[in-house]
Amino acid sequence: MWKSSAKKQGHGDTATRRHGDVYAKRPRVSVSSSLRVDVLPRVSVSPRLRVDVLPRVFLAFLLFTFSFFVSGCRRDMQDQPKAKPYRSSSFFKDGLASRPPVDGTVARGWLRADKEFYTGKKSNASAANTQSGPAATTPTAGASASQVAAAYPDDVDKFPFPITQDVLDRGQQRFEIYCSVCHGMTGEADGMVVRRGFRKPPSYYEQRLREAPVGHFFDVATNGWGAMPSYAAQVPVQDRWAIIAYIRALQLSRPAPVAEATETNGGRR
C-alpha cells in the first residue's frame, strides 16, 4: 500500500509540473507508525506571471538609477564658492582672485636644469664674464681664431650630446625647411628671399663662422641676430642643435682656402 501511494504521488508531481505548478513550501514528509505519508498542498503559479516580473524589475532599476542624476540638477552647482580668473576679490590683500605661483614653481616640461643644452652657454658663464670683463665686438671676416674665441667667451664649443647620422638627417630636414630660404640649400647665403631683395646673410664658409663655437649658432637661432628673427617658437631645442650639426657638416664638406686658413703674426692672413 505504501509503495502504490508513493508511485501514484510521483506520477501526480510530474503531471503537475507540466502545467507550471510549484510548491509553496518545501514538502514536509512525516512518517507515522503506519508508514503513512502526508504532503502539504501545492500552490499553482502561472508561467506568464514569472515572465511579467522581469520588465518591472528592470524598470524599477532604471528609475532608481535616474533618481541620482535628477538629484544632482540643483542650483547649488551654479552658485559655487569659487574665484574666477582675473576677477577682483576682497579675500586677498592684493585684491586679485588669481594667485601667483609659489616661488620656485616650474611648469611641467619647462625645467631647464641643463644650461648648456637649453641656452648654448657654459655652466659658469656668469663667472667667466666677471673674470674676462665685457665681451669683444663681433669679429670681422678677417678675424683670427683668438679674436673669434674672445668674441664669444660664454658660448659652448662642443655639442651637449653625441652627433649621429640620425641627428644629421634630422638637421638637414629642418635646415631645408627653416634656413634654406635665406642661407640657401648649401649655406652660400643665396636663398630664394635673398634673390628677391632680402638682406643677404653671411656665408657659412667664412672663416670667422668656421671658427665660431656651436653655442654662437644656437644663440643666433634662439634669440635672433641682425635681420634674422628668433626661431625659438618654431624650432624646438633638440632640432636647433641638429641644424647646427648639419651646418658644421656643410662647413667640413668644403675645406677653407689656404690663404684664409693660414694665420700670420699680428692676426693678419
C-beta of residue 208 within 8 angstroms of C-beta of residue 150? no
Residue 155 has phi, psi (to 5 degrees) of -80, 140
Radius of gyration of the CA atoms of the chain, in A: 44
Comparing 124-138, 144-158, 209-223, which segment has the lowest mean pLDDT? 124-138
Answer yes or no: is pLDDT of 167 > 60.
yes
What's the CA angle centered on 223, arms 222 and 228, to 5 degrees? 100
Residue scoring higher pLDDT (70 or 80)? 80
The three-state secondary structure class of 149 is: helix
pLDDT digits (tens, 9 = 90+) for 173-217: 999 999 999 999 999 999 999 999 999 999 999 998 999 999 999
The reported pLDDT for the residue numbered 233 is 95
The reported pLDDT for the residue numbered 16 is 46
Answer yes or no: is pLDDT of 115 > 70.
yes
| Among 218, 211, 66, 47, CA closest to 140 | 211
- What mean pLDDT comes out for the span 7-31? 49
Largest CA distance in the chain: 139
